[in-house]
Structure 1
C-alpha cells in the first residue's frame, strides 16, 4: 500500500526574490518622485500663473480659484493616481513579472511561470519538486544575467524634478526680487475668494472707485502715488468708456487727468505702469437751492414780530439794528456748508467808509436744510457769500451771494391834502382837509399844529395849539385822518395862522416831522368885505372882456350873414364858421368859469353879514344874468353855428341857421351889457360900504397901538430907546411899522373918496373927504410914528387914541348916511315884492350857512374831545 499525497510548496530562489525586490523598490522610487514632482509642478505653475496674471490685470477671484484648483489637481489628483498605478498595483511579484514582460516578453513569461509554480500545490508524483526547483534556478540564472532596470517604464522623474526645481527657482527669484508682490500673489493664490488687493509695483494712495462729477462740466481727477510705490511711471492714461484716452505726466507725486464734461454715467480705466484702476463716474447736477428764506427780526422799538421773507431776488432789506437768519432749502442733502466772510458794499456804492465787522462760520446742516446763525445788521449794506458741499463731494455755485441792504429808519412824512397853501376865511368858517402820514416802518401818531401871528399891534396873545388826530399801529405805514379846523371853535381871533400837520414814528427820541405849512388869514368882517370887493372888481373886469370878445364875434357873424347860402357852403366860409364855432365854445367855457367864481363870491358875501342887502341883491341880479348866459344863451349861439356847417344842409338851411345865430348873439351881447351894468351898480354900493370898513379898520389899528403901548407902560415910560429891553424895542418897532402902514391906508382912503365922488356925486362922501383933509390927519399920524421912534410912548398913545376916535366917528357918519339912502338906497317907500323875496332868500341862505358852520364846528370840537381823552389815557399806558 502506497504513502498518502502531501502538498509541497517550493519558494523561488532567494537571488530571484532579491532581484524582484530591487526592481520593485527602484520602480517605486522613480514613480513616487514623479508623483511628487508633478504635484509640485502643478502647485508652482498655478502660483506663477496667478503671479504673472496679477502683473497684467486684476485677476478675478473665480479665475484664481480655477487656477488653484488646477494646480491642486496635479497634487491631489494626479499624484495619488500615479502612486496607485505604479506603487499599489506593482507591489506583487506577478505584477512585477507582467511589467517586465512588457520589456522582455520571454523573460517575463518565464518569471511569471516560475512565480506560478511557486504557488502550485499537488502530489510529488504530479509535481516534481526537483523539476520545479531546477526551472526556478534556470529562470533566476537567466534573470541574473539581465538588467531588470531596463524593464522599468519610461522614467520622467529627473525631468519632472528639474522642471519643479526650475519652477521653484523662478518662484524663489520672484520672491527674492519682489517679495511683497510674491507674498501678495501667494495670499491671493491660497485664498482666491478673499478681498486681498492685487499688489502692483505702482501703488496709489487711497484711489477712489466712485466719484460724482458736475453734470456736463469738465472735471479733473487727481491720482496720487503712495509713499511706498515701487515704481513712478512718467506717464499715465485714463479712458472714459469708449472715448479717446486722456494721457498725462507725473507732476510731483500726482497725476492730473482732465476729462471733458459728461452727461451719462461711465467708467474710467486708468493705466499707470502695471496698475489698472477703475473709477465709476456719475454725472449729477450741482447741489443748488430750491428756496432761500430769511427770518428777519426788526429792532425791538418797532414792535414788529419776526417774519419770514422769500429771497427770490437775492436781495434782502433789513432795518438798521435788526437781526436775520438765512435758511437754505437744497435740492439734496448736504455734507457741509459755510458762509462769509461778509463784505461791506458801502465803498463800492460810493458811500462813506463805515466800519463793518466781517462775519463767517459754518452752516447748521440737517439733511437738505442749512441755516446761518443769527446775524446783526449794522449801518452799511453787506454781502454774504455761501459755499456748500453735498454727500458726493460736489460744491455748489461759488457765485451764490445774498445782498443785505441796511435800511435806515427814515423820518416819516406828513402831507395836508384837500386844502390850498393859502386861504382867507372868517373866524366862524371851517375848512375840511386830510392829514396823510407815512413812514417806512409804521406811523406812531398824526395830528395838526397851529401858531398865530398878529399883523398889527395888539395886547392879545397869538394863537397856539395842536390836535392829535389818531395813533397808528405797528407796521401801519400809512395813516390818513380827516381833519376840520375852525378858528372860532378854538377861540382864535382874526390873525395870520400857520397850520401844519405833524407825525411821529417809533424811532427813539426822534422829533416830530411837519408838513408844508398852510397859511390861513383869519379876517375881520371889514377886512373880509374889502377882499370881496377886490375879487368883485376882477370878476367885473373879466365880464367886460367877455362882452368885448362876444361883440367881436357878433361882428364877424354879421359879415357871414350877408353871404347867401351857396357862398356859406364854400370851403373858405365853412372854415370861418368852424372858427366862429370854436370861439363861441371858448366864450361858453369862460362864462361858465366866471359864473362859478361869482357864485362862490356871492356865498362869501352873504356869509360876511356886514354887506348891505341892496348890494347883495344887485350882485345876485348880475349873477342870474351870468347863469343864463352860461347855461342857455351862449350855448344856443354855438349850437346854431354848428348846425350851419352840416354837410346835409341846403343853402337855404345854412343861411337860416346863421341868421338865427346872429339874432341870438345880439341878445347875448345885450344881456352881457345888462349884467355889466348891474355888476357896476352893485360894485358902487360895495365900494361905498368898503369906505366904512376901511375907516373902521384904521380906527381899530390905532386902538391896537394904544392897547399895546398901555400893556408896556411900566417898562417903557422914563427910558430912552437904547436902555429898553430888546422885547420892548421890538414892540416899539412893530408899532411904528403899523403906524406907517395905517397912515398910508388913510391917504389911499382920501384919494379913493375923491374918485368915488367924481363918479357918483354923492355929497356925504365929499363931506367926509373934506373933513379928513382939513383935520390934518396925515401929519398927526406921522407925528405918532416919530414919537414911537423916540419912545414918547405916552404921547403916542394919546395921539393914537384921538385919531382912532376920529376915524370911528367918520365911519359912523358915513354908515349912517348910507343907511338913510345916501348910497343909492331907494325912495324910502314900502319894499316891493321882489325885494321881499330876495330878503327871504338871503335869510334862508344865511340859515343854511350857519347850520353848516355849526356842524363843522361840532366836528372840530369832537376832534378836540378825543384828543383830550387820548392825552388823559396816555400816562396810564406802559
Structure 2
C-alpha cells in the first residue's frame, strides 16, 4: 500500500514555502530600503548644513546599513527558517488554511515511504488520510491565501521616503541628489555639491606622478557665482591637513603650488561651499647617478698605466690629453641619456654613449683645456622625469708643463785655458717624464752643437754631472764659448737653461804651477767639508749624552 505523501501534497508544500519566502524577502527589502532612504536623507541634510564632518559621515553611513540590515532580519528574514522542514511548512499552512487544520500535519507525520512494513496501526486509515489531504490541498491558490497587500504598510513607508526625497530634490540650491550619493557611498571620493563648480586645469589627472622634493603647479577655474577666494587643502600620510590660499588670476581662475616631499600628497580645493574630490600626487624620485666609475686612460706618450676609481660624485681630473671612460649606475632604469660637454656654453657638444646589459651607462670624455664641465641628461623609463635640476660636474685638466733645465756649476762666467775642461753640474726636471737631455755649445755665437747626455728615461728629474774638454772643440785664445743644457719631455716640449759663458785665456803660468794650485784648492775644499762634518758629529754626540742624562 502507498502510505507516502502524495505528489500533490509535495507540490503544495513547495509552492507555499516559495510564496511565503518571496513575501518575506520583499518585506525585508521594503523595510531596509525605507529605513536606509530615511537615514540617508537625514545624513544628506546634515551634510548640506555642515553639521556632518567628512571624517564622521562614512561611519554613520555604515551604521545606517547595519541598522537597515538588522531591521530586515528582525521583521522578515528570521521567519524564513520556520518553513525549512515539511512539519514546519505544514504548521504554517494549517495556520493559513483552517480547512486543513489537524489533517496536513498528521499526513506529514504519518507518511511512511516503506509502504507500511513497520506500521502497527491501520494502514487503510493512513492511506485514506493521504488521499483526502492531497485532494483537499490540490488546487489552492497560495497567491490568494498569501496576498501581496499584506505588505501595504511597508510600501507606504518606502513610498513616503521616496516622495520626501523627490520633494526635497525640487528645492533650488539644496543639491540633495549629490548629498544623497555622498551619504549612501561611504568612503567614496565625491565632490561636495554646490552652486559653484570647480574645474582643475592642472594637474589634469586625478592621480599624477610628481618628482620628490618638487612643487607641482595647480591651476583651477570656477563656474557660477564668483567666489571670494579659493583654498588648497593638502595632506601627507600621518599628518594633519594643511590649508593655503590660492592666488587669484582674473575673475574665475586661481593658481598655486602643491608641495611634494618624500611621500605621496593628497589635495583638494575649496571655493565657497564647493569642495573637489581628493586627488593624489604620487611622489617618485627623479633619475640620478648614484655611482661613478672612472677609468683614466693617460696619453700614450706618457707611458702611464690606466687607473680606475669608483666615487659618488662626477668631478673629473686628469692629465691633458687623457681620456676618461665613465661607467655610471643610475637609481632607476632610464629611457634616454645624453652626455654633454660644456653644457653652459653655446658650443656645447653631445658625446656618444652606450648602455650595458646591466643597465649601466658608458661614455668616453676627452680631457682638454677647452672642456671645463660635463653633464648627463637623463629621462626616466617609468615616469618620464628628467634630472633637469642637476648641476654640471667639473673637468680639471692637469697641463703637461714644459721641462726645466738649469746649470748650477758654473753658475756664472768663467775663464779657462784652451787645454782645460769645463766641469758642469746641473738639473733637468719635468712634471710627466723626461724624454731627452742634451748639452749644447757654441763658439763665438756660431751654430750650436748638441750631444746627448745619459739619463733615466721617463724620470721626472735627472741630475747632470759631465765634463766638457775644450781642446777637442778647437777653441783659441780670446774665444767665447757658450754652454747650455737642453731638456726634452715625453710630449716633445723643450726647455733650455740660461747659457754659461767660458772665456778662453792665454797661457801665462807654468802648467805645473797651475796644476799644483788647483790641487791645493781641491784639498782646501775637502778639508772644509771634513771640518763641517766633524762639527755635525760633535753636535749629535752632545745630544745623545744629554738624552742619556735626562733618562737617568
TM-score category (smaller protein): 0.5 to 0.7
Q: 2:507 aligns with which of 525, 534, 538?
A: 525
Q: 1:43 aligns with which of 21, 33, 36?
A: 33
Per the TM alignment, residue 503 of structure 1 is displaced from its structure 2 partner at its CA by: 1.9
Partner of 1:425: 416
Partner of 1:375: 365
Over the residues paired in the alignment, what is the CA RMSD in angstroms? 6.2
Cα deviations by residue, 1:748-787 (Å, 9 ceiling, x for unpaired) = xxxxxxxxxxxxxxxxxxxxxxxxxxxxxxxxxxxxxxxx
Cα deviations by residue, 1:457-478 (Å, 9 ceiling, x for unpaired) = xxxxx994513222422xx433
1:441-840 correspondence to structure 2 within 5 Å: 441-453=432-444, 464-473=449-458, 476-488=459-471, 490=472, 492-494=474-476, 495-507=479-491, 510=492, 512-526=494-508, 529=509, 608=514
Matched residue of 1:469: which SS? coil
Cα deviations by residue, 1:437-482 (Å, 9 ceiling, x for unpaired) = 2334321111212233499xxxxxx994513222422xx4333333
Partner of 1:91: 96
1:515/1:845 Cα in 2 relative to 1: closer, same or farther (>3 Å)?
closer
Per the TM alignment, residue 270 of structure 1 is displaced from its structure 2 partner at its CA by: 3.1
Matched residue of 2:75: which SS? helix
Q: 8 Å contact 2:291–2:313 — kept in the other structure?
A: no
Partner of 2:278: 277
Is it true that 1:298 corresponds to 2:295 in the alignment?
no
Cα deviations by residue, 1:816-846 (Å, 9 ceiling, x for unpaired) = xxxxxxxxxxxxxxxxxxxxxxxxxx59958
1:198/1:361 Cα in 2 relative to 1: closer, same or farther (>3 Å)?
farther
Per the TM alignment, residue 238 of structure 1 is displaced from its structure 2 partner at its CA by: 0.9
Q: 8 Å contact 2:210–2:260 — kept in the other structure?
A: no
Partner of 1:220: 215
Per the TM alignment, residue 504 of structure 1 is displaced from its structure 2 partner at its CA by: 1.7
Per the TM alignment, residue 305 of structure 1 is displaced from its structure 2 partner at its CA by: 2.6
For the pair shown, which has the larger CA radius of gyration, 1 or 2?
1
Matched residue of 2:453: which SS? strand
1:243/1:153 Cα in 2 relative to 1: closer, same or farther (>3 Å)?
closer
Cα deviations by residue, 1:646-681 (Å, 9 ceiling, x for unpaired) = xxxxxxxxxxxxxxxxxxxxxxxxxxxxxxxxxxxx
TM-score, length of structure 2 as denominator length: 0.54
Partner of 1:400: 391
Q: 1:245 aligns with which of 243, 246, 254?
A: 243
Q: 8 Å contact 2:218–2:258 — kept in the other structure?
A: no
Q: Number of aligned residue pairs: give it.
A: 418
> When you count helix as a share of all residues, which structure comes out higher?
1
Per the TM alignment, residue 320 of structure 1 is displaced from its structure 2 partner at its CA by: 4.5
Distance in 2 (CA, whole Å) between partners of 1:232 and 1:481 is 96
Is it true that 1:78 corresponds to 2:75 in the alignment?
yes
Cα deviations by residue, 1:681-705 (Å, 9 ceiling, x for unpaired) = xxxxxxxxxxxxxxxxxxxxxxxxx
- Tell which has more relative contact order, 1 or 2 (C-alpha 8 A, sep 6+): 2
Distance in 1 (CA, whole Å) between partners of 2:386 and 2:74 is 60
Q: 8 Å contact 2:421–2:470 — kept in the other structure?
A: yes
Distance in 2 (CA, whole Å) between partners of 1:471 and 1:409 is 19
Distance in 1 (CA, whole Å) between partners of 2:441 and 2:432 is 27
Is it true that 1:160 corresponds to 2:157 in the alignment?
yes
Matched residue of 1:373: which SS? strand
Per the TM alignment, residue 343 of structure 1 is displaced from its structure 2 partner at its CA by: 2.6
> When you count strand as a share of all residues, which structure comes out higher?
2
Distance in 1 (CA, whole Å) between partners of 2:160 and 2:437 is 113
Distance in 1 (CA, whole Å) between partners of 2:210 and 2:343 is 38
Segments of 5+ residues of structure 2 without an aligned counterpart are 1-18, 84-90, 102-148, 527-552
Distance in 1 (CA, whole Å) between partners of 2:402 and 2:520 is 46
1:418/1:167 Cα in 2 relative to 1: closer, same or farther (>3 Å)?
farther
Segments of 5+ residues of structure 1 without an aligned counterpart are 1-28, 97-151, 348-355, 456-461, 530-603, 610-841, 853-878
Distance in 1 (CA, whole Å) between partners of 2:74 and 2:378 is 63
1:524/1:439 Cα in 2 relative to 1: closer, same or farther (>3 Å)?
same
Distance in 2 (CA, whole Å) between partners of 1:162 and 1:256 is 47
Cα deviations by residue, 1:468-511 (Å, 9 ceiling, x for unpaired) = 222422xx4333333333334x565444322111122233xx47
Q: 8 Å contact 2:296–2:306 — kept in the other structure?
A: yes
TM-score, length of structure 1 as denominator length: 0.36
Q: 8 Å contact 1:385–1:401 — kept in the other structure?
A: yes
Distance in 2 (CA, whole Å) between partners of 1:183 and 1:301 is 84
Partner of 2:323: 323
Matched residue of 1:434: which SS? strand
Partner of 1:342: 341
1:172-191 correspondence to structure 2 within 5 Å: none
Cα deviations by residue, 1:30-86 (Å, 9 ceiling, x for unpaired) = 999897355224136547867977998589998876654544444455224578799
Q: 8 Å contact 2:218–2:257 — kept in the other structure?
A: no
